[in-house]
Amino acid sequence: MRKWPLVAGALAGGGAYALYNGQTPTAQGFGKTFRGTPGHGGLMALTYDDGPNTAWTPALLEVLAEHDVKATFFAIGRYAEQEPGLLREVAAAGHAIGNHTYSHVSMPLHTGETIRRELRATSAAIEAAGVEPASAQGRRLMRPPYGHRRPGTLQVLREEGYLAVTWSVTLWDWSRGVTTEKIMHKAERQIRGGDVILLHDGCDVAMGYDRSHSVEATQQILARWKEREGYAFVTIPEMIEATGFEAA
């Protein structure tokens, strides 16, 4: 019996397993992350990555205030350092602030030492702005850029006192040719309650990136789902506490 096909099949299977658990936001094979309780319960969390962004974060804060909803913002460290006043505005409005690395690195491609530097530099920038980073179960919140992780990545996060937060609903508001209509089409297809919803108020490419469609979609999501019985929007720390999630 030839062994090579079996070996090749095992390697292919292992590669598929690694790809799935390293990039799929709801996967848990590499370690526990918080992704909500998709499909169960009425709590939902709006989350925004890659800010603060001088062009669109203020408009987003206005929309959230209009609906009296608190969200969770995962800040890029260099932007927090560049715009501490705007970050303070986000926190002062009652929103939770988490870590999204200093320069938006894909963490599985970097050493533990580099990841630690990215986390610590971002934490320092947030705290230098006079903002208290959000936490749950004694751990600060962190979202891996692109959702990418590996076992070593999650181990470093645990050692640094972080809880990894992924998501269950991807609205692709960063994609080429995005429109508010396209975002909302995906929202209607995916949101079922218990969701952590991924959107963006900034972009790792540059400050001032156009996120008008994300802001408009937020307005429509809140208008549609707040009026549906049984749904409520909360921050990630509130959702973790309410759902009884236990970090590994």
CB neighbours (10 Å) of residue 248?
10
Per-residue tokens: 180: 């508010």
Q: Please, which residues bridge with residue 88 across strands?
A: none
Catalytic residue among 49, 50, 195, 204: 49
CA distance 174 to 78: 20
Place of tokens 């470093």: 156
49 catalytic residue (yes or no): yes
Per-residue tokens: 35: 């992704």
Place of tokens 């971002």: 122
CA distance 168 to 184: 16
Greatest extent of the chain over all pairs of C-alpha atoms, in Å: 69
Q: Do the bridges between strand 135-136 and strand 139-142 make them parallel or antiparallel, or are there none, so unpaired?
A: antiparallel
Q: Is 68 left (phi over 0), alpha (psi -120 to 50) or beta?
A: left
- The answer for residues whose C-beta is within 8 angstroms of residue 119's C-beta and 6 or more apart is 99, 101, 102, 142, 156, 157, 160, 162
Catalytic residue among 104, 200, 201, 213: 200
State whether residue 146 is helix, strand or coil: helix
Report CA-CA distances (Å) from 81 to 5, 55, 144, 219, 223.
Answer: 53, 16, 19, 28, 33
State whether residue 60 is helix, strand or coil: helix
- Any idea which residues carry the catalytic annotation? 49, 200
